[in-house]
Amino acid sequence: KQEVTQIPAALSVPEGENLVLNCSFTDSAIYNLQWFRQDPGKGLTSLLLIQSSQREQTSGRLNASLDKSSGRSTLYIAASQPGDSATYLCAVINNAGNMLTFGGGTRLMVKP
């Protein structure tokens, strides 16, 4: 059974710092991996999707990498801003299925 773990569970940084969020998964036979953002009182918003054949995806200040063989993904946020404060979740879809398996999330606080 696929298990997805995110470290750290919470992170607080001053504005302007570059930071890395980590995601690991136990079964490397994945179809794709997504990073989501969850704001209080709002739904999950998909940020980046990496297909299993890809190594990374970029959107603005966000860069997600995927190392399928080691079961790891990182989300790099450059020049963090207070508006980046949210919970970030990673989720995978296995080759053998079509449903998302989520990690527990990293709660990020960017202080002005």
Partner 1 sequence: DAMVIQNPRYQVTQFGKPVTLSCSQTLNHNVMYWYQQKSSQAPKLLFHYYDKDFNNEADTPDNFQSRRPNTSFCFLDIRSPGLGDTAKYLCATSRWADRGETQYFGPGTRLLVL
Site residues (CB under 8 A) for partner 1? 4, 9, 31-32, 41-46, 49, 89, 93, 97-105, 107
Write down the least CB distance from residue 54 to partner 1, Å.
Answer: 13
**Nearer of residues 78 and 94 to partner 1, judged by Cβ:** 94
Residue where the block lists tokens 């997805």: 4
Q: Residue 10 pairs with which residues in a beta bridge?
A: 107
Write down the least CB distance from residue 18 to partner 1, Å.
Answer: 25
**Nearer of residues 82 and 104 to partner 1, judged by Cβ:** 104
Per-position DSSP letters for 5-53, written without gaps between them: EEE-SEEEEETT--EEEEEEES---EEEEEEEEE-TTS-EEEEEEEETT
Write down the least CB distance from residue 23 to partner 1, Å.
Answer: 11
